[in-house]
Chain A
Amino acid sequence: MELLDFYADWCGPCQMMKPTIEEFEKAHPEVKVKSVNIDEEEESAEKYGVSGIPCLVFLKDGEEVVREVGVMPLKKLEKLLEKANG
């Protein structure tokens, strides 16, 4: 399982999400978390059709399974993981 975390430095909600993403990473070593700066990796943001940030995309075997836009607490992020694991 992979988690793509699309963010930007100027985005307040993304800054608020950062500690939650870090906590998630620690609690779930089985998930490969990749933070993608949309200003530096425009192609990746375009490829995934990111239209708002923070945007969290779970990939299972490279395929998108769950996506959510906006801030959320760790509990909700873990719910998304459950859903992604399906």
Chain B
Amino acid sequence: MEKYDIAVIGAGIAGLTAAIYAVRAGKSTIVLEGKMEGGQIINTINIENWPGDMRVSGVDLIRKVKAQAEELGAKIDYVNVEKISAMDGGFEILGDMDEKILVSSVILAMGTNPRKLSDAMMKDAGKRPVSYCATCDGALYKGKNVVVVGHGNSAKHEVKYLEGICNKVYNIHHDEKIPEDADAVFVAIGRIPATECAKGLVEIDGCGYIVAGEDCHTTQPGVFVAGDARTKTVRQLVTAAGDGAVAAEEAVRYLA
């Protein structure tokens, strides 16, 4: 069975930054990622608010950060974490392929997933494709008609992007009917924290966010939270990185 000082759950910018700080402080650190490092930012082609780079793609940025974390000594493993339990002197982490990892401290950095379309709307969409990423799938609908569900900032962004590619772009609310002539449905109705595996371990608010202040302390001693999964007001790359640093420092202090 694998044993580490610190497990970081999630290899987005918050998790990888936490790993960098943790290994630099001399702690053995494993980062567990269920899908692919980077998380949300791999869908962003041009990041213009990351200090030091006028323009950088999410893919290029995360590759650099991952390489940095690994070179400093962090281990990154692809494990989809299902459950984290507190036990004597530490925590037991279980993956969905029967992986088992024992650690002394945990940093939760799972980020968020797109909020899914309601069942009623899925039915309305019928056989038409439903996508949660216009920059990924928009080009498949060149010259066709599409509909964007949602009216927030990200929905507006998707509409603008698709207008450059598609014939007609509808924009509807999440309770409206999907236009008959729409060939595909793009969904941007907010995001849901991917905090399922932390249920029962730490306090989670009504929206699914893990409750913690700027010190990243959760309600469970030894468990810290960094990035978009934390209750906070600004969710940006740099604030996620900032959280990563804070959570790692706090974890190191907890282990001292």
Chain A residues engaging chain B, CB cutoff 8 angstroms = 8, 10-13, 15-17, 20, 38-39, 45, 50-53, 70-76, 79
Contacts and interface: CB of A to CB of B under 8 A. Distances in A.
Most buried by A among B34, B42, B135: B42
B184 A73 contact: no
Contacts of B176: none
Interface of B: 33-38, 42-45, 57-59, 62, 78, 97, 129, 131, 133, 135-137, 139-140, 184
Contact of A8 (B34, B78, B139): B139
A45 B36 contact: no
Given A51-B129, A52-B131, A12 B42 contact: yes
Interface majority SS (helix, strand, loop, mixed), chain A: loop
B136 A13 contact: yes
Given A10-B45, A13-B36, A73 B78 contact: yes
Given A71-B42, A73-B78, A75-B78, A10 B139 contact: yes
29 contacts: A8-B139, A10-B45, A10-B139, A11-B135, A12-B38, A12-B135, A12-B136, A13-B36, A13-B42, A13-B43, A13-B136, A15-B59, A16-B36, A16-B37, A16-B38, A17-B36, A38-B139, A38-B140, A51-B129, A51-B137, A51-B184, A52-B133, A53-B137, A53-B140, A71-B35, A71-B36, A72-B36, A73-B33, A75-B97
Most buried by B among A16, A71, A79: A16
B78 A74 contact: yes
A70 B35 CA distance: 9
Given A12-B38, A15-B59, A51-B184, 19 more contacts: A10-B45, A12-B42, A12-B57, A13-B133, A16-B37, A16-B42, A16-B62, A20-B36, A51-B129, A51-B131, A51-B137, A53-B137, A70-B35, A71-B42, A72-B35, A73-B34, A74-B78, A75-B78, A75-B97
A73 B42 contact: no
Contact of B36 (A10, A52, A73): A73
A84 B131 CA distance: 25
A52 B131 CA distance: 7
Contacts of A72: 35-36
B82 to A, nearest CB: 14
A76 B33 CA distance: 12
B137 A52 contact: yes
Most buried by A among B62, B137, B139, B140: B140
Contacts of A79: 97
Contacts of A8: 139
A53 to B, nearest CB: 6
A12 B59 CA distance: 6
Contacts of B43: 12-13
Q: Top 6 closest A-B pairs, CB basis? A: A51-B129, A73-B78, A71-B36, A12-B42, A52-B137, A15-B59
Contacts of B133: 13, 52
A68 B33 CA distance: 18
Contacts of A45: 140
Contacts of B139: 8, 10, 38-39
B51 to A, nearest CB: 21
